[in-house]
Amino acid sequence: MALATATPGGAPSVRMVLLKDSAERGLVFYSHYTSRKGRELAANPLAALLFHWSPLGRQVRVEGRVEHLPAEESDAYFATRPRDAQVGAHASRQSESLISREHLELRLAEAEFEGPVPRPRTWGGFLLVPTAWEFWQHRASRLHDRFRYELDPPGAWRIERLFP
């Protein structure tokens, strides 16, 4: 899915992330808290997600507030990751400047662990709690179908059809 964040000043940023869970509480993904996305979400916890299925002519947009998952959930998921990915989470300073590929490989070699690899404190789960969903379906006429579900303050979803 594409994850869009913004700086406190409103400068946008978008990147692809893996959806790891979807439930009534929201949508879950994992990353470094100190990455660009992590820093932007710490300063401005509003974000948007986009799922696009071109062959099906459909997309879904989701908007909401993002929060950290509890440490126990991040620990449990981290333990299921391949060992190389666990060690890589320790070696990478995601989104920071890197001198060379060799420097990254040196950091990786220095990050080896005996036994289980602990989750870095700077890595964990994020939960996007939806406040709006938009469903789009392609039509050859370009008069696409669009429906927006928006959460009203009392907790009910308001549904409206949008112009294409």
Catalytic residues: 142
Residue 160: phi and psi, rounded to 5, are -140, 150
Where do we find the tokens 């932007």? 40
Element at 105 (helix H, strand E): helix 101-110
Residues ≥6 apart with Cβ < 8 Å to 56:
none
The token duo for 40 is 């932007």
Residue 34: phi and psi, rounded to 5, are -95, 0
Instruction: Give CA torsion, residues 9, 162, 149, 73, to 10 deg.
Output: -50
